[in-house]
Amino acid sequence: MKLENYINVFFIGIGGSGMSALANYFIGEKKRVGGYDKFQSTNTNNLESKGVSIIYTDNIKNIANEYLDSRNTLVIYTPAVPESSKLLEYFVSNDFKVLKRAEILGVIANSSFCVAIAGTHGKTTTTSILGHLLKSCDKSATIFLGGISENYNSNLIVNGKDICVVEADEFDKSFLTLKPNIACITSIDADHLDIYNGLDDLKENFDLFIKNIVPNGLLIAKDNLDIEAEKFGFNSTSKYNIKNINLHNGVYNFDLFIEDSLIQNFNFNLPGKHNLSNALAAIVIAIKLDCNTEDLKLALDTFIGVERRYSFHINSKDLVYIDDYAHHPEEINAIYDSLLESYPGDNYLVAFQPHLYSRTRDFIDEFSNALSKFHTVLLLEIYPARELPIDGVTADWLLSKINCPVKKIVKLEDLNKEIDNCKMKINVTLGAGNIGNEALRIKKKLLEYAI
């Protein structure tokens, strides 16, 4: 399809991370951009400040007339939008060009040298690090992010069009629209079992993604994955690996073994071995894209992070508050391991908001085991997102399976008060729902009566 044929682009579900990044892209392409979302958010406010017309009711009567001409309006929707959407039904039944987010991302990415970052965990951080490295090395690249880069306060980094870097999302099999020149797989763990029939089915679709790599393309993969690829990680036998790791005051210093040589003295400011692994993948790809290693050292040292990916809101000797998007048991385990490395001997408080009834049901034992590692668990009700309730799947059920010294169900509106009442030194909020909206209020409350 030819994007130049469309004057207008209308998004259904414009406020999502991936959707708002695409909206920003089309703003840069001088298209007239409009959209719908169920809720007002930071992303929608940002887009509206750039002149984007956004409605918050699912009713065609509220859409500006400019977007009602099927000859020059492209419609993009997120699979999170239900098929019962009146807007979606109108555009489909009136012969508009209607594409899923993944389809249009494929059209854009596949027209350039495509770099696709896949994996059930680590996509956003890896893509954000790589985007920062490429921008710092002045490579001609456009990078679509699934979160907000704290370096650029944006989910889109634009410095040219020769390279396109995207997150290859396994949800709804979206990553199968991509034909990457370079692909990276950070992890494959059972997830999205509302889409896949178990881990084997998920792996089969990752195999299909791998088969989409262009001839003579490159695949790199984490060294614990049973995939034929160039491996990266902490294993000394991997083609790309990290050596001589030191953690001091939350900053990693390490050496990198790559291309049969040792490159010394990298610094990375994001705690957690999982984040260090993500950084390694980004560095490897950047080197493959001809970035200078000394420039990469300088760039990596200036990477700040991604919003809601191990984001410090308070980081002092006596009080720590971290917020993270973690919504899968393996991600909670990674957060706990990071805390253990940075704050050995301390007790940890976690406030967790389960995301999706189906995910809670499918991984109930894994969630309970991960959360039982913490001293104090404040558990919120399940965030439904796109789902209807499932009989018997409740926060109370999950709480009953958690074994830790302190545990209780709390309401979202009481969360900042409940965290403050616990008077813990190390405090963490986790979840992919709306728990992140409370971070600034929690920070303010904790600082009022700092330990």
Write down the H helix ranges in 350-425.
357-362, 364-371, 395-401, 415-422
* Residue 288: partners with Cβ closer than 8 Å, 6 or more residues away: 182, 218
- The token pair at 295 is 């420039």
| Res. 273: pLDDT tops 80 | yes
> What is the mean predicted confidence (pLDDT) over 391-396?
96
Q: What is the pLDDT of residues 199-228, one digit of tens each?
A: 889 999 999 999 999 999 999 999 999 999
- The token pair at 5 is 């044929």
Q: What is the pLDDT of residues 223-262, one digit of tens each?
A: 999 999 999 999 989 999 999 999 888 899 999 998 788 9
* Residue 63: partners with Cβ closer than 8 Å, 6 or more residues away: 10, 34, 36, 55, 87
What does the longest C-alpha to C-alpha distance in the chain come to? 64
CA 228, chain centre distance (Å): 25
What is the spatial order of strands in the sheet that 141-149 belongs to?
A: 154-158, 141-149, 163-168, 113-118, 182-185, 218-222, 230-233, 240-248, 251-258, 261-268
d(CA 33, CA 54): 9
Residue 309: predicted pLDDT: 85
Task: Name which of 22-31, 306-315, 347-356 the model is least confident about.
Answer: 306-315
Reported as type and span, the H/E element at residue 190 is none
Q: What CA dihedral angle connects 234, 235, 238 and 239, to 10 degrees?
A: 40
- The token pair at 351 is 């406030």
Neighbours of 363 (CB within 10 A): 21
> To the nearest whole number, what is the mean pLDDT of the chain?
92
| Res. 190: pLDDT tops 90 | no
| pLDDT class of 348 with cuts at 50, 70, 90 | very high
CATH of domain 3-101: 3.40.50.720
For residues 234 and 243, the answer to whether their CB atoms sit within 8 Å is no
| Res. 450: pLDDT tops 70 | no
Number of residues written out for the chain: 451
> What is the mean predicted confidence (pLDDT) over 45-71?
93
What is the spatial order of strands in the sheet that 32-36 belongs to?
A: 53-55, 32-36, 8-12, 73-77, 97-100
The class of domain 311-448 in CATH terms is: alpha beta
Q: Rounded to two decimals, what is the model's pTM?
A: 0.89
> What is the mean predicted confidence (pLDDT) over 116-143?
95
> What is the mean predicted confidence (pLDDT) over 316-328?
91
Given phi > 0 = left and psi -120 to 50 = alpha, else beta, which region is 45?
alpha
Domain borders along the chain are: 3-101, 110-301, 311-448
* Residue 79: partners with Cβ closer than 8 Å, 6 or more residues away: 100, 101, 102, 171, 172, 174
Angstrom distances, CA of residue 100 to CA of 22, 294, 323: 12, 40, 30
Q: Which residue has the higher pLDDT, 386 or 256?
A: 256
For residues 327 and 431, the answer to whether their CB atoms sit within 8 Å is yes
| Res. 192: pLDDT tops 80 | no
> What is the mean predicted confidence (pLDDT) over 405-427?
94
d(CA 59, CA 80): 18
> What is the mean predicted confidence (pLDDT) over 52-69?
92
d(CA 237, CA 224): 12
Residue 293: predicted pLDDT: 93
Task: Name which of 174-188, 308-322, 340-354, 385-399 the model is least confident about.
Answer: 308-322
| Res. 105: pLDDT tops 60 | yes
Neighbours of 148 (CB within 10 A): 25
d(CA 93, CA 39): 25
> What is the mean predicted confidence (pLDDT) over 420-446?
91
Angstrom distances, CA of residue 365 to CA of 130, 194, 378, 399: 35, 18, 17, 11
- The token pair at 104 is 């249009």
CATH architecture assigned to 110-301: 3-Layer(aba) Sandwich (3.40)
| pLDDT class of 108 with cuts at 50, 70, 90 | very high
Residue 449: predicted pLDDT: 66
| Res. 369: pLDDT tops 90 | yes
Residue 370: predicted pLDDT: 97
What percent of the residues of the chain are helix, what percent strand, and what percent coil, each to the nearest 5? 35, 25, 35
Residue type for position 301: D
Residue 56: predicted pLDDT: 95
Q: Which residue has the higher pLDDT, 39 or 96?
A: 96
Q: What is the pLDDT of residues 145-172, one digit of tens each?
A: 988 999 999 999 999 999 999 999 887 7
d(CA 267, CA 308): 21
Rg (CA), the chain: 22
Residue 316: predicted pLDDT: 87
d(CA 407, CA 397): 13
> What is the mean predicted confidence (pLDDT) over 36-56?
92
| Res. 350: pLDDT tops 70 | yes
